[in-house]
Amino acid sequence: MADFVLDGYTLTYPSPPTNGLLLYLDTSGKENDDAHRDYLLNMNSPQTHTGANLENVTYNSTSGYLTSSGIHLDGIDDYLYGYLPSTLTAVTIESTLRLTDPKKQILLQVGDEAENWALRYNLGFLELIHNSSVLATTTVNLTNTLASKACMALLVTPTTVRIYINAVEVLNTAIVLPVLGDENDYFCIGSGFPSKGYMEGNLYSFRLYNRILTQTELTKNFKADKKRWSVTT
């Protein structure tokens, strides 16, 4: 049986999602459609924060769904944003994406609005930011510059961060987060916090789990995404 079954915009299997899967997005076959600007699954987060939104997407030839090309983020103001469950103690975020402008390369971040901190992954380095000050920076040695499609995974606990590119670990470091598991915790693809540029490129798939995936699980998911999106390694 397939790992996931989608009926239009609805995930019908597994139902409810199992193994810690909180959020799932697959853009295959989608077309520009303003009616589904706000999509994805309820993440069991606070009542005021549910699901995730594409922000500032205008659904035209440069900002929105492109046939077989995922969601195109225009590098100007497009990004994907959502809140994490308040009971979270660990998170794994997987995404398949491609950059079209290497100068606009803020790929993914996890943070807290009230505490004003962010763990920001740029192409080549990872930053921990608090009150607009950089507390720590760690180099991420990438063998794939993401100029072509690539599958990225970010695994975060309050004390460690790991990054995988195409199921290969490129970073494993200790880093103490100011807080994790607060109702204001968020995730974002494509935008800096504080505002520091946007990603330009394509987002093909996105998954968020409330736990740390194993190497076996990461490899399995990568193989599925590699086949689905024709990722070359």
* pLDDT value for 176: 82
Could you read off the pLDDT of 69-82 as tens digits, one per residue? 778 888 888 888 88
For the chain, the first-to-last Cα distance in angstroms comes to 27
Left if phi > 0, otherwise alpha if psi is -120 to 50, otherwise beta: which for 44?
Answer: left
In one-letter notation, the amino acid at residue 35 is A
What's the pTM value of the predicted model, to 2 decimals?
Answer: 0.81
Tell me the average pLDDT across 97-115: 78
* Total Cβ atoms within 10 A of residue 53: 15
Residue 90 has pLDDT above 70, yes or no: yes
* pLDDT value for 198: 79
Residue 212 has pLDDT above 90, yes or no: yes
- Walk me through the domains of the chain, giving residue ranges and CATH numbers: 5-229 (2.60.120.200)
3-state SS track over the chain: CCCCEEECCEEEECCCCCCCEEEEEECCCCCCCHHHCEECCCCCCCCCCCCEEEECCCCECCEEECCCCCEEEECCCCEEEEECCCCCCCEEEEEEEEECCCCCCEEEEEEECCCCEEEEEECCEEEEEECCEEEEEEECCCCCCCCCCEEEEEEECCCEEEEEECCEEEEEEECCCCCCCCCCEEEEECECCCCCCECEEEEEEEEEECCCCCHHHHHHHHHHHHHHHCCCC
* pLDDT value for 215: 94
Could you read off the pLDDT of 30-59 as tens digits, one per residue? 555 555 544 444 444 444 445 677 777 777
Could you read off the pLDDT of 137-179 as tens digits, one per residue? 887 766 556 678 889 899 999 899 898 989 999 888 888 887 7
**Tokens found for residue 189:** 């693809």
